[in-house]
Structures are given as C-alpha cells and as structure tokens.
Structure 1
Amino acid sequence: MIEIKNVHKKYGSLVVLDDINLTIKEGAVTALIGPNGAGKSTLLGVISKLLEADQGTVLLDGEPISKVKPHNFAKAIAILKQTNQINVNLTVRELVSFGRWPHSKGNLTTFDEQKINEAIQFLRLKEVEHKNINQLSGGQKQRAYIAMIVAQDTKYVLLDEPLNNLDMRYSVDMMLILQDLVKKLNKTVMIVLHDINFAATFSDHIIAMKDGKIIKEGTPDQIMEKDVLDYVFDHEFCIAGVNGKKYFIYYQESVDDKL
C-alpha cells in the first residue's frame, strides 16, 4: 500500500503540493487530472523518490520510503517520466532488459530472460525486438518503454503523461494495455492524463488536482460532474452521458450568448 500523508512541496515561494493526503487505490488504474501546474507530475516525483517532499511522508507498506533501500524500492515502484528518450543505440530487447537491473545488476539469469520475453510478448513487440528503438514509430517506442517497466515487475507503475505525442489509435491502444496490466498482471497503475475523456473511459479512479491540492477523488462517475470540472479547470463544461458513462463536450459561447 502507498500512503501519502501531509505532503508539502515548494519551489521558492511557489507551493506545488499543499498538504496532500492520499492512499493509492490498489489493483486499479488511477488517473491524475488537472490544469498545468496543478502538481500532478510533482506528486508522482515525490512518490517515486525522484523528488523530496519539504514536509510530510510517503509510506510503502507502512514504511517511510526514505528508509526503503534503493534496490528494494526499485522492485516495488517503477516510474516512466515524460522525457524518457535514451540517446544511445539500443535494440528493443536491450532497452527492455534494463527493467531487470534491480533484480540482476546486469547479470541476467534465465528467470530474467523469461521476464524480458514475457514483457516483449505482452506489449506485442516480438517482431521488432531486435530493431533499434530509434527506428520505431512513436507508438511502438512508447510500448517499448512500457515493456521495460513491465519487465521490472513492480507492483506499482507510475506514468507521467504517457500519451504525449501519440495519435488517437496509439493512445487508445496504450490505455487498453494499462488496463491489462491491472487485470492480467495484478499491477496498480497511477497515470497523469490531460485528456479528461480518456480518464473517464479507461480509469477506475480519478484524482482531480488544482493549485497543489486534491480537489476531489472518486470514480469517473463521481468526478465527471460539471461543478467539479468547471472549478478544477476554470472552464465551463457540458457533460453528456453515453453508454452509461459521462463525457465532456467542448463548450463554445455563441454569438447570440455574447449579445
């Protein structure tokens, strides 16, 4: 279990996380939504130990993460940042094998190779496993990075805007893969998303943030409410129901409305 207790984070005088209290929902896809500067990426950074909170504590199975040894932490929590490009010549398989580092320290065992093979199969990359990652399409390359995370075989997977620069087809494909991580591999996924409708469609739980605070968390049905989204994004939303789910429709003020 990951628990965030009274976490604060500032950059100079700018408060980016303001008294965050949260327990990550187990066995689910949790989407973090909110405007730019809401603190979403910073929260992932603090949970993953890439950033240190100024105050407060993050607990992993009841133990402060500051006390968890790095190799044990890397076996429990994996993060894929927005900027994950590696400027060296690597094949897909070589990239995915990096996910086994916390377990093998570079000396791959038969079990490590099995995990690498499983990750490549799971992300449907078998046909390109010996290709250079720089020869891949954007969608294939992102799947290769996710495969590296899958090979790491952690319980918790943190993803910071993994749909960036992906077209609609690959974005949907990626979200279906993340759902399968939960359903088939028993992972817990926390993901920063900018597209609210993607969060409504593919997540089990949504956390809405603004100005470094958690405004509301709950099921997609609970978060996809006009008053919640209007406040979080400072924008007037129109919410529509489709096939039992709620989605937002872009609102545009007509000329008649302005008169």
Structure 2
Amino acid sequence: MIKITDVKKAYTEKVKIGPLNIEIPKAGFTSLIGPNGAGKSTTLMMIGRLLDIDEGHIAVANMDVTSTKSKDLAKVITILRQENHFVTRLTVRQLVGFGRFPYSNGRLTKEDEVIISKYIDFLDLTSLEGRYLDELSGGQRQRAYVAMVLCQETEYVLLDEPLNNLDIARSVQMMEHLRHAAESFGRTIVTVMHDINFAAKYSDRICAMKNGQIAAFGTVEEIMDAETLTNIFETNIEILEGPYGPIAIY
C-alpha cells in the first residue's frame, strides 16, 4: 500500500500542494487525473522521492520514502518521469538493462539478461533492441523507457504520463501492456493521465486532483460521475455508458 499522510509541498506562497491524505491499495491500476496544475505530477514525484516533501509522511510497502536507503527503495518502487533525456548513445537493450542496476550494480548476470529479454519482448521491442534511442520514433522510445522501469521488477511502478508521444493505436497498446503487467505480474501501477476515458477503461481506481488537493478518490464507477467531473474540470461533462464502460463527453 502507498500511504500519504498530511503531506504538504509549497513552491510559493500561492502555489501549494496539500495537505494530502490517501491510501492507495496494493496491486492494480490507479490513475491520477485533474486539470493542469492540479498537483498530479508533483504528488507522483514525492511518492517516488524525486521531490522532497515539506511536511507529512509517505510510506510505500511500509517503507518510509524519506528515510529508507536508496538501494532498498529501488527494489520496491520505480518511477518514470515525463521527460527523459539520455545524452549517452544507448541501444534499446542497454537502456532496458539499466532497470537491473539495483540488483546487478552494472554487472549483468545471465539471469539479468533473461529478465531484460522478457520485458523487451513484453513491450514488442524485440526487433528494435539493437537500435539506438536516437534512431527511434518518440513512441518507440517511450515503450523502451517503460520496459526499463518494468525490468526493475519492483512491486510499485509510477508513470508520469506514459502515453506521451503515442498516437491513439500505440496508446491503446501501451495501456493494454500496463493493464496486463498489473494483472499478470501483480504490480501496483500508479499513472498520471490526461485522458479521462483511457483512465476509466484501464484503471481499478481513480484519484482526481484539483488545486493541489485530492478532490475525489474511488472506483471508476464512483469517479466517472458527471457532477463530480464537471466540478473538478470546471467545464460541462456528460457521462455516457459505452460498450466498455462509462465515457466522458466534453
């Protein structure tokens, strides 16, 4: 479980996050949604210890995010930021191999190589594993980064807008992969999402944020409510029942 208790983060006197209080259950797929500036990515970065908290407490699998040693935390939680800038020229396989660093310290074993191949295959990157990142499309690179974080084989996976640079077909494919990872590998996946309908189709739970606060948290059915979403996004939203569940119409 991810437990956030009385967490606050202040950038300026007017730009503040929190206090945040939420418990995200173990296993399954949770999406963070909300308008720009709501605090979604900031919250994700604080859970992943890429951003310090000013007040409060965050625990992941009963490990204090602030005080746990990095080498121990890296075996429990991994995070993919929205922007990734590798200046070194790497192949897809080399990039995915970085996910094994907490275990191998850079000295890959035969077991590591098997795990690397597993996630390269899982993200349909087998034909591209020898290609350099700068030779790939944005969508192909995004899949490679996701393969890298899954290759770390942590129970908790945090993804900041994993559909960046993906067209609709690749977005569907990516969400299918992530949903499969949550179900087949027992991962707890938490994502920042901009598309409400993608979140609704693939999530077990949705956390809606607004103005640095948690506005609503619950099942898809609970959050996909016209009044709730209209209040959060401050625009009229209707909910229709589609073939795969509720659909938000703007």
Shift of the alpha carbon at 1:137? 2.2
Distance 1:131 1:31 in 2: 32
Farther off after superposition, 133-142 or 27-36: 133-142
Alignment check: 8 A CA contact 2:2 2:60 kept: yes
Moved over 3 A (4+): none
Match of 1:88 in 2: 88
Distance 1:44 1:56 in 2: 15
Shift of the alpha carbon at 1:244? 5.8
Aligned amino acid, residue 235 of structure 1: T
Give ranges in structure 2 of 5+ residues lacking alignment.
none
Match of 2:71 in 1: 71
Aligned amino acid, residue 140 of structure 1: Q
SS at match of 1:51: coil
Aligned amino acid, residue 37 of structure 1: G
SS at match of 2:18: strand
SS at match of 2:229: helix
Distance 1:117 1:16 in 2: 43
Q: TM-score, normalised by structure 2?
A: 0.97
Alignment check: 8 A CA contact 1:16 1:37 kept: no
Q: CA RMSD in A?
A: 1.2
Shift of the alpha carbon at 1:238? 1.5
Match of 2:187 in 1: 187
Shift of the alpha carbon at 1:101? 0.8
Aligned amino acid, residue 247 of structure 2: Y
Match of 2:6 in 1: 6
Match of 1:213 in 2: 213
Matching of residues 147-166 of structure 1 within 5 Å: 147-166=147-166
Shift of the alpha carbon at 1:35? 0.4
Q: TM-score, normalised by structure 1?
A: 0.93
SS at match of 1:68: coil
Distance 1:182 1:65 in 2: 22
**% same residue:** 45
Q: Which has the larger radius of gyration?
A: 1
Q: How many residues align?
A: 250
Match of 1:249 in 2: 249
Matching of residues 44-59 of structure 1 within 5 Å: 44-59=44-59
